Structure 1
Amino acid sequence: MSDFMDNFKVNHENNVKDVRSVKSSISKVANDLADNTLELRNEIKTVVNNAKQENENLQSTVIDLQCRSMKNNLVFTGLTETEGENTEEVIRDFIQQFLHVTHRIEFGNIPRFGYGAKPGRRGRHRPIVARFLYYKDLARSLSNTYRLKGKPFGVNQQCPDIIEQAHKSLYQIMKQKREEGHTVKLVRDILYVDGEMYNDHISEIEPTDSLTSQN
């Protein structure tokens, strides 16, 4: 009987040790799994952040290339479209009559684009985009757009849609700052007030040497 109890005690102690060993192994596996899961999550987060940054860099590069390709383009709005018109002559006459730039300007393509009223119909007519061969002619024409105040025409530098949307969100701020007597300047989609960047609206896109619109 004594031997039986001794054997039982030994077996019991061995079983307890085995259970403890199994628990320890399970705990170690669980800890390793938790560590691996955290490490995997961190790796996934890093990959996602890197991909996001690369995408933002790519988008910025594309926008910059678009801005550069449009640098010599002006968009004219409010000009009546007629059947069989010569858009180059339309723009030349407009620049001479309303912007008072009388020297001959050399152009590239001058098409109408987008949607609008058909020739001879009422409604907003399609805008015209004119490509200036010489930037100084564009700058001279744009600097005289103050003469269009109160008239149903508009002249602006062509820019990518994302920049145009940023402009729309800034127009009200620009108007308010002008009324307060400040000097405002818009470089791509970054607003400067009295020569300082307007901190309440900072773009993620860095400015380049693209045309500055100033009023």
Structure 2
Amino acid sequence: MRNNLIFTGIEEDNSQGNKSQVVTESKLREHLSEKLKIPKETVEGLRFERVHRTPSQPVRGKVRSVVAKFVFFKDRELVRRQWPELKGTSFNVFEQFPPEVQEKRRRLIPKMKEAKREGKRAWLAYDTLFIDGHPVQQ
């Protein structure tokens, strides 16, 4: 999961069932250049090991997330750092974590938000909360 990013809101034509990986990858590349403002030449050079929709059957009116596994970590980071371009849109991009890490992050987010309201610098790194540069013990 280290090289995976999850993209939400990318349109899906689910009237005829699951689309092939090639179709999903081309939609993702289009999304990267249009919405994340990554130059087309750069997007064409990105290498994916696999691109697919989240597992389940397509449902009318719902858009499944796209999971992209990058071949190179530096490509993933290039794309991930473009997330501010999505501010104010219905799209999102985030890292994929194992379920136990997701649960731990879910518990830490309220503490992080509270610290930010108090004017402190706070951020999550994997499954650790940092406030003013120091890790917080749970």
Pick the aligned partner of 1:98 from 35, 48, 60. Answer: 35
What secondary structure sits across from 2:89 in the alignment? coil
Equivalent positions of 1:1-150 (< 5 A) are: 70-83=1-14, 84=19, 86-102=23-39, 103=42, 104-115=45-56, 117-118=58-59, 121-123=60-62, 125-150=63-88
What secondary structure sits across from 2:78 in the alignment? helix
Equivalent positions of 1:161-200 (< 5 A) are: 161-199=99-137
What secondary structure sits across from 1:81 in the alignment? coil
TM-superposed CA distance for 1:161, in Å, is 0.7
TM-score by length of 2: 0.81
TM-superposed CA distance for 1:182, in Å, is 3.0
Query: Which one has a bigger Cα radius of gyration?
Result: 1
Corresponding position of 1:153: 91
> Measured at CA, do residues 137 and 180 of structure 1 come closer, stay the same or move farther in structure 2, by a change above 3 Å?
farther
Greater relative contact order (Cα < 8 A, sep 6+): 2
Unaligned runs of 5+ in 1: 1-69, 202-215
Deviations 1:81-107, CA, capped at 9 Å, x for gaps: 114461111111111122222213111
- Structure with the largest fraction of helix: 1
RMSD of the TM alignment (CA)?
Answer: 1.9
Q: Which amino acid aligns with 2:53?
A: R
Q: Percent identity?
A: 30
Q: Which amino acid aligns with 1:148?
A: L
* Corresponding residue pairs, total: 128
Structure 1 Cα separation of the partners of residues 117 and 28 of structure 2: 32
What secondary structure sits across from 1:108 in the alignment? strand
